[in-house]
Amino acid sequence: MALLQDAAYDVRSVADGETALAVVADWAPDLVVLDLNLPRLDGVEVCRRLRLMSTAYVLMLTARSDELDRLVGLTIGADDYVTKPFSARELVARVQVLLRRPRLIQGAPVPVPGPGPGAQRAFGPLTLDTEGRDVSVGGIPVPLTRIEYDVLDALTERPGRVLTRDVLRERIWGGGWFADDHAVDVHLSNLRRKLTAAGVTDLITTVRGVGYRTTPQT
């Protein structure tokens, strides 16, 4: 894309979903700008497959602005979402925000100091390693997306403290207009679903009209 090349990014462009997956496998990019309306494989299926093979950020583009499309995009693992038409400044800004967040490189977590004391936090059978950005339940790893991990990290920093959606947006996306309440709710819902599947059902509590908190576990 010329917009990103002008911003000094190394860019490769392809015209269909199958080719995109092949290029990602070969090139291992840091970020993928993915159009929802692709030939051969649409953006939803490409995103699903990307999440099985790549740690790249995914910024989805679509000409459809209804809320359902937005929620579907986030549910399958997209990190952010832009509706056409968009300005060059908006696209570049969203890319810059995503690339400032910690990411996984070549399958190994980049050590990121945890905001709370110590490298590990334990909540009953759940353990969160803030240096390795790993989460496990009973010693079994729980695979989370970057945003799901960041949500859990923020909520477990001080158990019992209520965090509003605005606070979570600021903590995870850096605030501003890059995410909204729906994005927070979708990622938190996905996080809860994964924790429940792993056997942790009551760690995150909704405080109606305010936000979310974690309950200390024994």
CATH of the domain at 83: 3.40.50.2300
Residue 100 reports pLDDT greater than 60: yes
Domain range enclosing 88: 2-100
pLDDT score at 68: 62
3 state DSSP class of 204: strand
What is the separation of C-alpha 72 from the centre of its chain, rounded to a whole number of angstroms? 13
Residues of the chain with pLDDT > 70, as a percent, come to 83
User: For residues 47 and 76, is the Cβ–Cβ distance under 8 A?
Assistant: yes
Residues sharing a CB contact under 8 Å with residue 161, sequence separation 6 or more, in sequence order: 213
Last residue of a domain, one of 49, 81, 100: 100
Q: Of the candidates 63, 57, 55, which has an alpha carbon nearest to the alpha carbon of residue 38?
A: 63
Question: Cα angle at 20 between 78 and 96, to 5 degrees?
Answer: 45
CATH of the domain at 206: 1.10.10.10
Query: Both 83 and 11 in a single domain?
Result: yes
Last residue of a domain, one of 67, 100, 133: 100
pLDDT score at 50: 87
- pLDDT 10s digits, 143-199: 888 888 989 999 999 888 999 988 888 787 765 445 566 778 888 888 999 999 999
Residue 69 reports pLDDT greater than 80: no
pLDDT score at 73: 72
Q: Of the candidates 113, 115, 135, 137, which has an alpha carbon nearest to the alpha carbon of residue 124?
A: 137
3 state DSSP class of 10: coil
Query: Both 21 and 51 in a single domain?
Result: yes
pLDDT score at 136: 94
State the number of CA atoms in the 13 A half-sphere of 70 facing the CB: 16
Residue 71: pLDDT band (50, 70, 90) is: low
Query: Both 36 and 131 in a single domain?
Result: no
Last residue of a domain, one of 77, 100, 123: 100
Average pLDDT of span 120-129: 90
Query: Both 145 and 86 in a single domain?
Result: no
- pLDDT 10s digits, 11-26: 999 999 999 999 988 8
Q: For 137, which DSSP code?
A: E
Residue 106 reports pLDDT greater than 70: no
Query: Both 123 and 80 in a single domain?
Result: no
Beta strand spans in 63-99 (E): 80-83
- Range in 68-72, 81-85, 107-111, 199-203 with the lowest mean pLDDT: 107-111
Beta strand spans in 93-153 (E): 104-105, 108-109, 120-123, 126-129, 134-137, 140-141
pLDDT score at 67: 65
Query: Both 84 and 116 in a single domain?
Result: no
